[in-house]
């Protein structure tokens, strides 16, 4: 199973750590959109586009599930 994690930065790494404990044999992809952080200063439409870009990437690499590990996305 391939699981993608999306965050605007590195805060979601703690969530990823928990997932590694629960599903140690899964394959994990972590997408950190550090180019556009912090999201809190962006408009709703900008954030929607950044998240869509991340989801497009996850679809391209064919993940089985996505975790949005971002408080502002």
- Supply the range of the domain harboring residue 61: 2-68
- Angle subtended at Cα 3 by Cα 1 and Cα 29, rounded to the nearest 5 degrees: 120
Average pLDDT of the residues in 13-32: 97
**Count: domains in the chain:** 1
pLDDT for residue 1: 96
Report the CATH number at residue 36.
Answer: 3.40.50.1860
Residue 73: inside a domain: no
Considering the entire predicted model, what is its pTM? 0.91
pLDDT for residue 56: 98
- Residue bearing tokens 């999201």: 39
Give the chain's end-to-end CA distance (angstroms, integer).
24
Q: Is the pLDDT of residue 58 over 90?
A: yes
For the chain, the helix, strand and coil percentages under 3-state DSSP, each to the nearest 5 = 40, 20, 35
Average pLDDT of the residues in 21-36: 97
pLDDT for residue 36: 95
């Amino acid at each position: 199973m391939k699981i993608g994690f999306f965050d605007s930065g590195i805060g979601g790494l703690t969530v990823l750590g928990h997932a590694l404990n629960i599903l140690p044999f899964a394959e994990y992809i972590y997408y950190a959109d550090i180019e556009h952080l912090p999201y809190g200063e962006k408009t709703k439409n900008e954030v929607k586009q950044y998240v869509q870009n991340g989801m497009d990437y996850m679809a391209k690499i064919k993940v089985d599930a996505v975790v949005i590990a971002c408080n502002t996305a």
